[in-house]
Amino acid sequence: MRTGVFHETFVAEERLWDSTTTQRWMLAFTLALFTLPVWGTDYMLAMACIVGIHVIATLGLNITTGNAGLISLSHGAFLGVGCYTVAWLAKHGVPFYLTLPAAGFVTAALGVIVGLPSLRVKGLYLAIATLAAHFILTFVFREWEAVTGGVPGTSIPRASLFGFEVGGDRRVFYLIFACAFAMAVAARNLGRTYVGRAFVAVRDRDISAEILGVNLLRTKLLAFAIGAFYAGVAGGLLGYFYGAITPEYFVLTLSVFYLAAVIVGGLGSVLGSILGALFMTLLPELLRLAAHASSQWFPAVAGLLLPMQQVVFGLLIIVFLVLEPHGLAAIWARIRRTFHLWPFRT
Amino acid sequence: MSEFVEYSLLGLLSGGVIALVALSFVLIYKGTGVVNFAVGEVMMLGAYFYYAGTVTFGLAPWIAFALSLGLIGLLAVAVERSVLRPLSGQSAVAVLMATIGMASIIHGAVEAVWGGDTYSPPTLLPRTPLTFGEILIPGTVLGNFVVAAVLIGAFLAFFRYTKTGIALRATASDPVTAAVLGININYSQRLTWVLSGLVGTVAGVLIASSAGLSPLLAAAALGVFAAIILGGLDSILGAIVASLIIGWVEALAAGYLGGKTRDVVPYIVVLAILIVRPYGLFGTRTIERL
């Protein structure tokens, strides 16, 4: 618990970053990220873009699964919907500040449709419904060639703002960074509104929530819609970053990846989503570096890289679930508490 | 018309193996309340053990089969003790993710050890096809169905008439009362996992013998979810009936609409069922007014 923080107005108490220390750290972090193209290598820049995309998608899934308690296995497919929407709109010359929100809204509408079974079923039945929706959507990606280009995939023209092309990693980085920042703040604020509290109420005890006047169906559909909106925007940014995509990218493993990021990071917390996405994105890279480094002594390791990734991935999920169910956010909070209360014990 | 009969027969017969995989899933759900996403991977691992036994070590098929059953049984016990017991109080998301994690580990380990190629392990059953006039039924399909039917019949009898079976059912429906009555809950749940693993291994070996063995075998289990939802997550009889129906629908779709639709039709059926009759044909109806 932080000491020495005294608020004099309600407005000051409700601020997201309410102490000078927090504000200064936040400013430093934002400046560091903003100037990343200057001090970072190209590799770091590309990784930062990918992390940004994953952060947005994980934020969305954390709202659906962490805040509202609705297990969604179709998140990977929603990313695909956003990506293909942006591809199709951009080919028709729509600028990026319209395609990205449009992708978000289209995916949100689809999220509402996928969430409709929650009218009748709960919990694991709903999870399997989202699984079914995932497979149907990926089937559509492969077969609807007029819009998605079928199995060979499609290309996405570069985003442009009044003729200024957002090409190259640097400019896409700023686009992704701006979107990720805005959406993270939005997600944080969501927790303080009626809608956010309704989500938590529905997750914890939905019968009580209904008695209190929360419209269950609308709340659940809204949870799916908001999560899908985030996934759609993330998918659109993915399209702008890669320039071309195929339906092979949006497999069930992607949905499981995001679910793992949510769990490893911590269900229901924005910081958890960011940490989880960062961790899950950097993990394959770490493994690759480790395999590369040890290939001098064990030459056969390089071929085992992809299966080893899966094994480590699964092991991580299980280790985190058994040992630290509240995820990286809880570990971070514990470290912070130790520093705040030092030299006293926590 | 004979086309329809042929597709229907093939579908119903292939539904038998789907029923085995569905049984493996429903056993765990009914016995411990856990949705096991690793069913396909366990199935695949059992088939790979069998392959290793027959081809790599040169054992006779039946011995290798028995050995793979034993190994999967041991693995089930290990998994239950190390992963599921610590997680027994946690939320459904956590346990679901744990099974997904297990599936990932098994899949990665299998690919690391055996690689991604397709193998053909020897079959346990005769391959002679059966002909009814114009209709040709491959011997493996018929053999798989017979094995599946016998095994499922044995399970239904086991649950109905033996003391252990009734103890498992008691643990499934109310663990606290079962514990009060003196049934050892830990052993019951462990036995449920072992049985589920064994059934999965049989299904895996059957599928691998007829369709080839590769890491893609695990994906075949995802189609089983349609059967499980249709039948009701916690009903064994529902799983069997629904598997036959799903097998039939899949075969008709593949025959009339083309092979590509084969994978997606079960999922459309799932969504339709969830809207019309959410708890499936035979599942227990929990009355929820939303």
ipTM for the whole complex: 0.81
Give the minimum alpha-carbon distance from A255 to chain B in angstroms, rounded to a whole number.
11
**Set of chain A residues whose Cβ sits within 8 Å of the Cβ of B274:** 117, 120-121, 125, 129, 132
**Set of chain A residues whose Cβ sits within 8 Å of the Cβ of B268:** 132, 136
Whole-number Å distance between alpha carbons of A244 and A149: 11
Q: Is A321 in contact with B92 (Cβ distance < 8 A)? A: no
Determine the average pLDDT of the residues in B76-96. Answer: 82
**Residue A146 maps to a domain:** yes
DSSP string, A34-99: HTHHHHS-HHHHHHHHHHHHHHHHHHHHIIIIIIS----S-HHHHHHHHHHHHHHHHHTT--HHHH
* The total number of structural domains that make up chain A: 1
CATH number of the domain that B121 lies in?
Answer: 1.10.3470
pLDDT in tens, B57-69: 887 888 888 888 9
Tell me what pLDDT residue A303 has. 66
Going by pLDDT thresholds of 50, 70 and 90, the confidence category of residue B221 is confident
- Going by C-alpha positions, the residue among B145, B186, B147 that lies closest to residue B168 is B186
**Residue A185 maps to a domain:** yes
Question: For residue B190, is pLDDT > 80?
Answer: yes
pLDDT in tens, A187-198: 999 988 999 999
**Residue B59 maps to a domain:** yes
Question: For residue A166, is pLDDT > 70?
Answer: no
Whole-number Å distance between alpha carbons of A53 and A47: 10
**Residue A110 maps to a domain:** yes
A121-135, B40-54, B135-149, B233-247: which has the minimum mean pLDDT?
A: B135-149
Q: Is A311 in contact with B104 (Cβ distance < 8 A)? A: yes
Amino acid at B11: G
Are B205 and B50 a contacting pair, CB within 8 Å? Answer: yes
- Going by C-alpha positions, the residue among A201, A190, A173, A189 that lies closest to residue A55 is A173
Q: Which residue has the higher pLDDT, A182 or A22?
A: A182
- In chain A, the percentage of residues whose pLDDT exceeds 90 is 36
Determine the average pLDDT of the residues in B12-21. Answer: 83
- In chain A, the percentage of residues whose pLDDT exceeds 70 is 94
**Which of B107, B226, B229 lies nearest to residue A310, judging by beta carbons?**
B107
Tell me what pLDDT residue A168 has. 67
**Set of chain B residues whose Cβ sits within 8 Å of the Cβ of A206:** 290
φ, ψ dihedrals at B135, nearest 5°: -90, 130
Task: Please give the mean pLDDT across all residues of chain B.
Answer: 82
Determine the average pLDDT of the residues in B166-184. Answer: 88
Going by pLDDT thresholds of 50, 70 and 90, the confidence category of residue A211 is very high
**Set of chain B residues whose Cβ sits within 8 Å of the Cβ of A133:** 267, 271
* Signed CA dihedral, A257, A263, A268, A272: sign only: negative
Give ∠ CA B230-B89-B87 in degrees, rounded to 5. 85
| Residue B35 touches partner A, C-beta closer than 8 Å | yes
Whole-structure pTM value: 0.87
**Residue B290 maps to a domain:** no
Give ∠ CA B129-B239-B8 in degrees, rounded to 5. 35
Give ∠ CA B24-B25-B27 in degrees, rounded to 5. 70
**Residue A319 maps to a domain:** no
Please compute, for residue B265, the number of CA atoms within 13 A of its CA located in the half-sphere on the CB side. 18
Determine the average pLDDT of the residues in B230-252. Answer: 83
Q: Which residue has the higher pLDDT, B94 or A178?
A: A178
**Residue B125 maps to a domain:** yes
Q: Is B90 in contact with A321 (Cβ distance < 8 A)? A: yes
The burial of A171, by beta-carbon neighbours within 10 Å (0-12 exposed, 13-18 middle, 19 or more buried), is given as: middle
**Residue B61 maps to a domain:** yes
Determine the average pLDDT of the residues in B190-212. Answer: 87
Strands (E), chain B: 130-132, 135-137
Q: Is A117 in contact with B222 (Cβ distance < 8 A)? A: no
Please count the residue pairs, one from chain A and one from chain B, whose beta carbons lie less than 8 angstroms apart: 138
pLDDT in tens, A71-112: 898 999 999 999 999 988 888 888 888 889 999 999 999 999
Tell me what pLDDT residue A58 has. 96
Please compute, for residue A202, the number of CA atoms within 13 A of its CA located in the half-sphere on the CB side. 30
* The total number of structural domains that make up chain B: 1
Tell me what pLDDT residue A104 has. 95
Strands (E), B71-194: 130-132, 135-137
Q: Is A321 in contact with B101 (Cβ distance < 8 A)? A: yes
Grouping H, G, I as helix, E, B as strand and the rest as coil, residue B167 is: helix
Are B197 and B46 a contacting pair, CB within 8 Å? Answer: yes
Tell me what pLDDT residue A161 has. 60
Return the HEC string of B47-97: HHHHHHHHHHCCCCHHHHHHHHHHHHHHHHHHHHHHHHCCCCCCCHHHHHH
Tell me what pLDDT residue B132 has. 65
Tell me what pLDDT residue B290 has. 45
Q: Is B100 in contact with A314 (Cβ distance < 8 A)? A: yes
**Residue A290 maps to a domain:** no
**Residue B134 maps to a domain:** yes
> Given phi > 0 = left and psi -120 to 50 = alpha, else beta, which region is A298?
beta
Closest-CA residue of chain A to B280 = A125
**Domain that residue A243 falls in:** 28-251
Whole-number Å distance between alpha carbons of B232 and B230: 6
**Domain that residue B49 falls in:** 2-276
Alpha helical stretches, state H, chain A: 10-14, 20-34, 36-39, 42-61, 75-91, 96-115, 123-143, 145-148, 168-190, 194-204, 206-211, 216-242, 252-265, 270-294, 305-323, 327-341
